[in-house]
Amino acid sequence: MIGTGILKGLAETARNFFLSYVSKDRLTTVQYPEQRLPQIEAARNFPFLVYDGAEWDAGMRCVACQICEKECPPKCIFIEKSKDKKPDAVGKPQFYPARFDIDISVCMSCQICVEVCPFDAIKMDVEFDLPTDDRFAGLMLDRHKLSKSNEYYHEIHPTEATAVDTALDAERAKAAAAKAAAAAPKPASPAATAASAASTPKPTEGESK
């Protein structure tokens, strides 16, 4: 009989409709914005600058090495180095960015800036709710708007943030040990001299390529 194929199809659609009352799998609509989907941990949207501690200005990890600016494919990062230095995450005096702007109307969320940053200073945010009525200045985020705390980073990407913190703590410990060994009085025995020479670390985070 002509039309059996269509009837079979309609039977499938009807089955889907009635089953959607019982099976969660078939009722996939999420009533946004009252309901929201849980955030997937690895999601990324635009970058943000991480700061340690309570002060965003003093605790910023960025040392204005400008590597992210060079590697950014659409060239949406604009950095200006400061004239003075302040101590960085490990305690070494470093430059800091006097101006760090990201034009998010250009940024394509490729995450290359995060990959190349040697200081774990820039990470990817998940904030997508960024409406503004000024399509030029409203989409140019300056360093104050970009700075978010390390606790916020732990909230949005817990696994990554814990790994970064572990690595930074290890570096801080190494730097502190080096300082302690350098401050210790000169030992008499050659074995102790050899031991202190071995524990002097090679300069690590201070070097920017």
Partner 1 sequence: MDLATIQSELEVSVPGCRLQIVDNPSPCVQHSLVVDAEHAVLVATYLQDFLHFDYCSNVTGVDWLPKELSEKIKVKKTVDGPNGPEEKEVDEVRKTSVPGYLEVVYHLFSTTDRTGPLPLRMRTAGREVGGEATLLPSLTPVWRSCEFQEREVYDLFGIHFEGHPDLRRLLMWDEFTDHPMRRDYVDPDDYEYEPTAHDEVLARMRQHYSTQPGPAFGDLPQGGGQ
Partner 2 sequence: MSTITLPTPPVLNPPASLEASASENPERLLELSLGPQHPSTHGVFRMNVVLDGERVVRLKPVFGYLHRNHEKIAENETYLGNMPYTDRLDYICSLTNNWAYALAVEKLAGIPVPERAEYLRVITAELTRLLNHAALVGFLLQDMGASGTPLMYAFREREKILDLFEALTGARMMCNYMRFGGCRVDAPAGWLDQARKVVADFPKFLDEFEKLLVSNEILMERTQGVGVLSRELAISSAISGPMARASGLNYDIRKVDCYGIYPRFSFRVPLGSHGDVYDRYMIRILEMRESLKILEQALRDIPEGPILDPKSKPRGFRPKPGECYGRIEAPKGELGFYLISDGSPNPYRYRVRPPSLINLTVLEDLCLGHNVADVVVILGSVDIVLGEVDR
Residues near partner 1, by CB under 8 A: 78, 80, 98-99, 101, 103, 105, 134, 136-137, 139-140, 142-144
Rounded Cα distance between 33 and 53, Å, is 33
State the nearest-atom distance from the C-beta of 45 to partner 1, in Å. Answer: 19
Residue 147 beta carbon to partner 1: minimum distance, rounded to whole angstroms = 11
Q: Which does 137 bind (CB under 5 to 8 A by kind): partner 1, partner 2, none?
A: partner 1
Count of other CB atoms within 10 angstroms of residue 104: 20
Distance from CA of residue 18 to its chain's centroid? 45
Q: Is 112 in the site for partner 2 (CB under 8 A)?
A: yes
Write the CB contacts of 95 (distance below 8 Å, at least 6 apart in sequence): 63, 64, 81, 82, 85
| Of residues 67 and 126, the one with the C-beta less far from partner 1 | 67
Does 111 bind partner 2 (CB under 8 A)? Our answer is yes
Cβ at position 27, least distance to partner 2 in Å: 10
Q: DSSP string of 68-126?
A: HHHH-TT--EEEEEEEEEEE-TTS-EEEEEEEEEEETTT-----HHHHH-TTS-EEE--
Which of partner 2, partner 1, none does residue 28 bind (CB under 5 to 8 Å by kind)? partner 2
Contact residues toward partner 2 (CB under 8 A) are: 2-6, 8-9, 12-13, 16, 28, 40-44, 67, 71-73, 108-112, 115-116, 124, 159, 209
